[in-house]
Amino acid sequence: MNPRHTATLEPAPSPSRGGERAARVLVAVVAAGLLAVALWPTLARRTAPVVADPGWEQLAPPPEARMPTWRWLVVSGVAREAHVRISASHDDEARVELLPAWRLQRAVPGYPADAVVVRVGQGDPAALERRCVAVAAELLRRIPTLSVARLGADRHGVPPGLDQERLRFLVRERLGK
């Protein structure tokens, strides 16, 4: 035999495309993730359960608490403490929370002793307004010493987008007056 090597006609191995495939998979995963992040608020809003406006059963103070004579209903955007808070949460665009001052039927510091203070937080203005109207109407319906004439926005800080006259009009409309 000849000690020299001779060329053969066997095909050379094909170049590996593993790195190219991995890059394509990575691009597809990143694109799907970005699409999911972009669509999440829309999908979450559609799938969030519709929460009914609170009735007196949810708003009523505990039976053992003596209800004082409330005369004013103040809607605030800046109150540190309040009786009721309406704000966006992960499952409701305008969640209503009864705070300790309401459960104990005590006055809120910085406001008249006979004022019910409703704190409206950040969120969808239309949903917050609708829930604020529902809460105000229910309180006015159930507490005889409150009146629409004494429903007003906080002079220290009106909630963003709240028009006091529109709020009164919507509450009157809901009460049927």
Residue ranges of the domains in the chain? 17-47, 56-175
Of 156, 171, 92, the C-alpha closest to 128 is: 92
Q: β-pairing, 115-120 with 84-87?
A: parallel
Tell me the pTM: 0.69
Is the pLDDT reported for residue 47 higher than 60?
Answer: no
pLDDT of residue 122: 86
Q: By percentage, how much of the chain surpasses pLDDT 70?
A: 85
For residue 135, the one-letter residue type is V
pLDDT of 16 higher than 80: no
Nearest residue to 116 (alpha-carbon basis) of 94, 128, 132: 132
pLDDT in tens, 139-166: 999 999 999 999 988 888 888 888 889 9
